[in-house]
Amino acid sequence: MSKAAGIHSACYQVGRMQLVQWLHEMLNENVEKVEDVSSGHHYCILLEALYPGQINVPKIIMNAKLEWEKVSNLKMVQNCLIQHKVDRAVDVDKLAKGKFQDNIEFLQWFKWFFEQNFDVGSGFDAEDVRRRTGKKSTAGTNAAVKPGAKPTAVVSKASTISKSVISSSGVSQNKPNLDVQQQLDRRTKESKFYFNKLREIELYMGELTEQAEAAGLQDDGNQLNLMNVINKVEEVLYATYTE
Final residue in a domain of this structure, among 65, 100, 133: 133
Q: Identify whether residues 209 and 117 lie together within a single domain.
A: no
Q: CB within 8 A of 36, min separation 6: which ones?
A: 42
Q: Identify whether residues 181 and 83 lie together within a single domain.
A: no
* Cβ atoms 29, 11 nearer than 8 A: no
Q: Give the total number of structural domains in the chain.
A: 3
Q: Could you report how far apart the first and last alpha carbons of the chain are, in Å?
A: 49
Q: Is residue 50 part of a domain?
A: yes
pLDDT at site 238: 64
Q: Identify whether residues 114 and 161 lie together within a single domain.
A: no
Q: Is residue 138 part of a domain?
A: no
Q: Is residue 102 part of a domain?
A: yes
Quote the percentage of the chain above a pLDDT of 90: 46
| Local confidence band at 177 (pLDDT 50, 70, 90 cut-offs) | low
Q: Identify whether residues 78 and 118 lie together within a single domain.
A: yes
**Closest to 102 (Cα-Cα) out of 50, 55, 40:** 40
Q: Identify whether residues 169 and 197 lie together within a single domain.
A: no
- pLDDT tens string 73-113: 999 999 999 999 999 999 999 999 999 999 999 999 999 99
What are the Cα distances from residue 236, in Å, to 44, 92, 139, 198?
30, 24, 21, 10
Q: Identify whether residues 69 and 92 lie together within a single domain.
A: yes
Q: Is residue 4 part of a domain?
A: no
Q: Which domain holds residue 127?
A: 10-133
What are the Cα distances from residue 180, in Å, to 84, 165, 204?
61, 8, 36
Q: CB within 8 A of 86, min separation 6: which ones?
A: 1, 2, 4, 113
- pLDDT tens string 116-150: 999 988 889 999 999 998 666 666 544 443 444 44
